[in-house]
Amino acid sequence: MITRLDGSAFSHSAIATGDGDGQMTSAHMSFCRTRPFDLGGIRADHVSHFWDLGQSVYRLALRPDVPRGPALERLETLRSPDDDGTFSVPKIVIVAIALATFAHDLAPAQAEEVRRLAVDAAGAWEGVPDRREFYCAELIARLYDRRFPVDALAPVDPQRPATGPQAQEGFLDSLLVRTLGWLTEDDLQAPYDRLLAAVEKAMPTFLDQAAVDILLSPFLPRGGPALHQGRFTPATRTDSVLGPWLPFGLVTPRMLLDAPWTADHVDRIDGPGAPLPPPPTPV
């Protein structure tokens, strides 16, 4: 869902936690991995875990003046052997909604309103610092304590988001809304309800499509050869109706790639069991 809407081949983000030994830590879903009804959380995995899923792995280095030590220290405050948090499906849906507002066929006023409500909904989680619910890119931005301007949310290609096959309005959106309500605490429900109501009005089939994306995501190949290498240059404008900075809960893997504090290239990690590299992109 995120790669389709965001225009990037990168679908996940992790932080390298070993000394070049292939160990990494990330927030991802993993049902019943350690206890019943566990929806995932901050997991430590070897690179081969992702290779076994058919996913290629790339290393994005930091700029030389950005230390890793403080990020690793923050990581230890967010997870423990007894509680590694949970993976936040509601936040992923908020990100998808925010990205979908850049669709070229959406009325500008509606797009701006839904985007504003998405920022409000994502910001509500930030107002509860002890609630340890994360998704992958949000976790990395938190660990490095780096903010992104609102302008960074816009997908790479102005024709994005690619809509893909459109779902028909049906029962899946109701099922998704019920599930999101079950996964969202009462004190966070009001901004979420306002956002979902606006989505139903502005993009009536979006939640059905989101439900399809979520259901199919474990069975579809991840990523592809179109690795975006461009750099994002932060805009100087700060008078946006959305405010100058995004909540951590609206960061995407593509934004980490474009961040001014990361390197301007990625290095593929290979080894026994790694998927074959993608074919060269035609020039």
Q: What is the pLDDT of residues 123-178, one digit of tens each?
A: 988 877 677 889 999 999 999 999 998 888 888 665 555 444 455 556 566 777 77
| pLDDT score for 216 | 67
Mean pLDDT, the chain, rounded, equals 80
| pLDDT score for 236 | 37
For residues 23-28, give the mean pLDDT: 92
The reply to whether 102 falls in a domain is yes
Q: What's the gap between Cα 208 and its chain centre?
A: 19
The reply to whether 279 falls in a domain is no
Q: What is the pLDDT of residues 211-231, one digit of tens each?
A: 777 776 655 555 444 444 444
| pLDDT score for 226 | 45
Give the pair of three-digit tokens for residue 279: 């074919």
Query: Count of domains in the chain?
Result: 1
The reply to whether 89 falls in a domain is yes
Q: What is the pLDDT of residues 69-128, one digit of tens each?
A: 999 999 998 887 777 888 888 888 899 999 989 888 888 999 999 999 999 999 988 877
For residues 47-54, give the mean pLDDT: 91
| pLDDT score for 155 | 81
The answer to whether the beta carbons of residues 100 and 222 sit under 8 Å apart is: no
Share of the chain above pLDDT 70, in %: 78
The reply to whether 278 falls in a domain is no
The answer to whether the beta carbons of residues 96 and 5 sit under 8 Å apart is: yes
How far apart (Å, rounded) are the C-alpha atoms in residues 86 and 40?
5
Range of the domain at 167: 2-269
Burial state string for 13-27 with b = 16 or more CB within 10 A and e = fewer than 16: bbbbbeeeeeebbbb
- 3-class secondary structure, 265: strand
**Tokens 């983000």 sit on residue:** 13
How far apart (Å, rounded) are the C-alpha atoms in residues 55 and 274?
8
Q: How far, in Å, are 2, 3, 7, 129, 155 from residue 161 at the CA level?
A: 10, 9, 7, 31, 7
The reply to whether 281 falls in a domain is no
| Total-model pTM | 0.84
The reply to whether 17 falls in a domain is yes
Q: How far, in Å, are 35, 93, 203, 225, 240 from residue 102 at the CA level?
A: 39, 15, 12, 24, 15
Q: What helix, strand, coil percent values describe the chain, rounded to 5?
A: 40, 15, 45
Residue 239, pLDDT above cutoff 50: no
How far apart (Å, rounded) are the C-alpha atoms in residues 156 and 150?
14
Contacts of 196 (CB under 8 A, 6+ apart): 177, 180, 207
Confidence of residue 232 (pLDDT cuts 50, 70, 90): very low
The reply to whether 139 falls in a domain is yes
The reply to whether 283 falls in a domain is no
